[in-house]
Chain A
């Protein structure tokens, strides 16, 4: 019977259905816009600003406004951006601009600006970025992975002190038999170079990296640390540490003064091909401010 049902669905979808079946009602209400002058575009530029800055938007008609002008209703989602409730495009004009006033934001905020007239709605996106000058650290945290209880258990995501550490590449496991102190977060390479990456966030809030401890059993430690704030790169730190022969080494941040809301730590585990066994490489003691 499953085959029969499939056939019917396909045939109905291609026009075999009962022609008397009513079609679904249109979701677009009837247009009241003057003939030949519909709302064709809404553009915000710049479309990404620091919260607290003012940006501008432009509404454009498809044809010059009639003698009475065209009134356009405006709105913004949320409470962090303010637009005039309406504007009028004067007779003979095809566009008008208006200001969008924003407020400072604690997390990156996406705002939808909406313009509506004659049953036609246009939307545009505005990103409000965190102003780094407006945030200050108030507390210190050390992520020591104390919540990892099961040795060699995969860690899909880990949360401690409000920070979330999510593996991006390679399989990261909790190691309860080694750490600085125990436990630590590690991944392994059997042969060749394997990239292991973790992503650190704090629910969108800004934070500061002070230092992180790295470990490799038998190899040098090539690493990259990248910090982002509101999707914009803030800093990149790239280095190859020498072989520590199994000891943890503390790496201070090159930008402890720079707030970020996403931190990526990428380790290259360079186990030479043909070498027997696997090389563990790990992270411990991520010192952060928030």
Chain B
């Protein structure tokens, strides 16, 4: 029974070799599968419509051409379907082209070699005016006697495109900033007054400025 099975399995290979008549050396056992080592995008942030370059690096030199599949999570970034790492090379590059969009978009670029997968995020920046961000909050003086006033200053990363209201709050009712301060159009900073009350003990607290999802805090200390 065992002999019969062996013969049946071996027959196709024997027939193939005999029919072709070549003195082919039997193939060696296949090499271990090549895996991915690294994947990166340069730059990782681009203006919409610009290009980024991806580089795929293998863990070992390619003994045969290695086909690496590519994909993008979002239509704003377009990649070729695949690239080939040529024989003898350890890496290959490809171009990511981006489309014009009206909102900043993160596209995840994936490279796939067998079951091995690597991802990198490409941030595509829309060509739209961007409001400045809240950069800093300062209090002067930081240490003062209770009952005196301090001056606070908020600074933006650039001129305001329109009046921007920055919310203010104190962690202690002994010091009170206004509820908000407005940075006028074209200005990059604004000042406000923090009024305080007399204290009997040294008291440390925070003043916090908030603009949308950005917050900055500064510490104050009141003395008797």
Contact = CB atoms under 8 A, between A and B. Distances in A.
B63 interface: no
Given A4-B13, A197-B75, A266 B101 contact: yes
Nearest to B128: A240
Contacts of A194: 74, 105
Contact of A193 (B105, B127, B128): B105
Interface stretch (B14-22, B29-37, B135-143): B14-22
Interface in A5-25: 5, 7-8, 11-12, 16
A266 B105 CA distance: 13
A268 B12 CA distance: 58
Contacts of A169: 74-76
B106 interface: yes
B12 A1 contact: yes
A141 interface: no
Contacts of A4: 12-13, 15-16, 19
Query: Is chain A's interface secondary structure helix, strand, loop, or mixed overall?
Result: strand
> Residue among A4, A11, A239 with the most chain B CB within 10 A?
A4
A238 B103 contact: no
> Residue among B17, B101, B103 with the most chain A CB within 10 A?
B103
B100 interface: yes
Contacts of B104: 193
A267 to B, nearest CB: 8
A112 interface: no
A168 interface: yes
A195 interface: yes
A8 B18 CA distance: 10
A193 B17 CA distance: 58
Contacts of B76: 169, 195
A93 interface: no
A206 interface: no
A240 B103 contact: yes
Interface stretch (A48-56, A129-137, A220-228, A254-262): A220-228
A238 B101 CA distance: 8
Interface in B167-216: none
Given A3-B13, A7-B20, A169-B75, A192 B102 contact: no
B75 A168 contact: yes
Contacts of B19: 4, 8
Nearest to B100: A224
Contacts of A170: 75
A192 B19 CA distance: 61
A268 B105 contact: yes
Nearest to B107: A195
Contacts of B99: 195, 197, 224, 266
Contact of B106 (A168, A193, A222, A266): A193
Interface string A159-175: 00000000011100000
Contact of B103 (A1, A5, A8, A270): A270
A226 B13 CA distance: 59
Interface in A66-96: none
B98 to A, nearest CB: 10
Contacts of B22: 11, 16
A151 interface: no
B103 A266 contact: no
Contacts of A140: none
A236 interface: yes
B103 A268 contact: yes
A115 to B, nearest CB: 34
Contacts of B127: 238
Given A7-B17, A226-B100, 7 more contacts: A11-B24, A192-B106, A193-B74, A195-B105, A238-B102, A239-B102, A240-B128
6 contacts: A3-B13, A11-B24, A170-B75, A193-B103, A193-B105, A268-B103
